[in-house]
Amino acid sequence: MTNIVQNHLTRLKTDYKMMSIVNKGDACMANIFRKKRVADLLKETTPLRRTLHTLDLTFLGIGAIIGTGIFVLTGKGALTAGPALSVSFLIAAVCCGFAGLCYAEFASMAPVAGSAYTYSYVAFGEIIAFIIGWDLILEYALGAATVSVGWSGYFVNLLDNIDIHIPTVLTAAAGTTPGVTTLFNLPAFLVVLLITWIISIGINQTKRVNDTMVFIKLAVIILFIVCTIWFIKPHHWTPFSPYGLYSFNHGTTAGIIPAASIVFFSFIGFDSVASSAEETVNPSKTLPRGILLSLLISTILYIIMTLIMTGVVKYTVFSKYLNAPILAVLHATGQTWLSIIVSLGAILGMTTVILVQLYGQSRICYSMSRDGLFPKFFGEVSSRYKTPFKGTWFFGIITALAGGFINLNILSELVNIGTLTAFILVSAGVLWMRKTNPGIHRGFKAPGVPFTPLIAIAFCLVLIAGLNWETWVRFVIWFAIGLLLYFFYAKKHSKLNI
């Protein structure tokens, strides 16, 4: 009888321990998926200065979008898709357009800094928000560093034209160009530091610099279009799509879809407009307008430019002008006088891209720090400049060093996969919030839900499929590092940790 009672007590203890383990596991799962409430977000006050209007946001978006796409990626894109590069740009734009509608709805619903990070916190919970924030930091840092290298190429070329020469060893990272000895990309390093300083000293200074450079950049692009459109030879558009939608060409992928995956990089940055919510006047209305207007204007210019460029010269010619494809067009038309003006436009164009990406990165880090997921250092706002001064400089210096020392050719596609992942989460978040929180006020509603976010997700998945497997491996490694940081630091220090 005693043995029976003891056995029964032992089973009860075992069952109790198992239930405790299960309950702890459930509590842990609930803990990592804890969410922020929109109502609480709207109650928070911000130490940042609200000065941005619709025109400023539109210029911020154009500043982020138009730059590398026109002045650098059109060469590689044309070799991948032929004259059908314009269709590749359209596909990438449609993907961004549907995602942009979802961003616009979230921005009107939760007009606070943080972009996709904040939206994921509201919709899916803390661990998803941290991973996407970690992902966006990679996107903006690598994006800005990659563009700074392209900026350096145009800047060095412009100086050469006026007989000012920078030593070759200081024009690129080691191993960038086979057969050429290089050690450090000094121009790329310095331009990132300069832009970091501009961002750190205030949003008004950032706004003025960006607006001025975007205006000049648009003037240069329009001048290029007016001067070259008369030299189009329609037979250069035949065959229009030499590689079809997707094919293999000399061991590499080619066609409209792979080219769309490449030029998608051109549109990266419009999402950073959403990061400016706490520095925007009436953000629930002005943010959606700024996001959508910048996408529309940029897409029209991209398509016109690619049709002109592949119409003036045969697309195969761009193999000799990969770093500066526009110069191929100017050489073919005999308008070399335009080259200095175009180089200046390219430099300004890429400067605004770097500026907006570094700006977006600083605001993501600020939001994560304010939530306790990053150290307090990154969220401290300067009483003088009303900016997250220390965090801006920390990541600015890291980005500058990346542009100076690292060969970024193998890493640039990481930016694409990171952004596409963010787009998928924001689009899925709109679906989820419509279902779970239908009563929340939305200053802008994405039309065609549920189809709009589903189409955005489908386009993103198609573009991800166009990326190579090495990109996936690097992304998984970065993802794993983010998880370690979350469980060893962020989860314990979160402001939601009760």
Give average pLDDT by consecutive 10-residue segment, the chain, 498 residues: 56 51 48 84 72 86 80 84 92 87 84 81 90 85 85 83 85 78 90 93 82 88 91 92 81 83 77 76 82 89 92 89 81 82 84 86 89 90 87 92 77 73 89 87 85 90 78 84 92 84
**Among the listed residues 256, 297, 363, 358, the one whose alpha carbon sits nearest the alpha carbon of residue 100:** 297
CATH superfamily of 51-493: Amino acid/polyamine transporter I (1.20.1740.10)
Fill in the DSSP letter of residue 360. Answer: H
Res 126: pLDDT: 92
Q: According to the model, what pLDDT value does residue 309 have? A: 92
H or E, element range at 472:
helix 469-485
Q: How far is CA 290 from CA 57, 62, 280, 320, 370, in A?
A: 5, 9, 11, 37, 26
With beta carbons less than 8 A apart as the criterion, state whether 36 and 372 touch.
Answer: no
Q: What are 185's strand-pairing partners?
A: 171
If you search the block for the tokens 């992304």, which residue do you land on? 475
Q: Within 13 Å of residue 468, how many CA atoms lie on the same side as its CB?
A: 12
Residues 6+ apart with CB under 8 A from 316: 79
Q: For residue 127, which of 262, 29, 40 has the smallest C-alpha distance? A: 29
Predicted local confidence at residue 86, as pLDDT: 92
Residue 270 near residue 291 (C-beta atoms within 8 A): yes
The 10 Å Cβ neighbour count of residue 185 is 30
**CB 326 within 8 Å of CB 94:** no
The H or E element that residue 247 is part of is strand 247-249
**Burial (Cβ within 10 Å: 0-12, 13-18, ≥19) of residue 438:** exposed
pLDDT score recorded for residue 339: 80
Which pTM value belongs to this model?
A: 0.80
